Amino acid sequence: MVDQAEDGPRGVSVLPPALALRKEAEDELLKAAEAPSERIVRRIVEDLNAKIREMLLKPRPARRWA
């Protein structure tokens, strides 16, 4: 039996990387809004910014034209 989350099997992403990061950013910002301290908010946002920076610095995959 496959362990499933609300949106499908865990560990399987059906979104392109940029959209998956955008979804993660939305989730993290909601988490930051509920954080009990500024220190925790800053850590959440710093981690998110690091992921965004990493995504922006990665080369884009080459397009294959059919």
Residue 48, SS3 per DSSP:
helix
pLDDT digits (tens, 9 = 90+) for 1-19: 444 455 555 666 688 888 9
- Please give the DSSP secondary-structure letter assigned to residue 15: S
| pTM of the entire predicted model | 0.67
Tokens of 65: 């034209």
Q: What string of DSSP letters covers 40-54?
A: HHHHHHHHHHHHHHH
pLDDT digits (tens, 9 = 90+) for 20-61: 999 999 999 999 999 999 999 999 999 999 999 999 998 877
- The total of other beta-carbon atoms located within 10 Å of residue 31's CB is 13
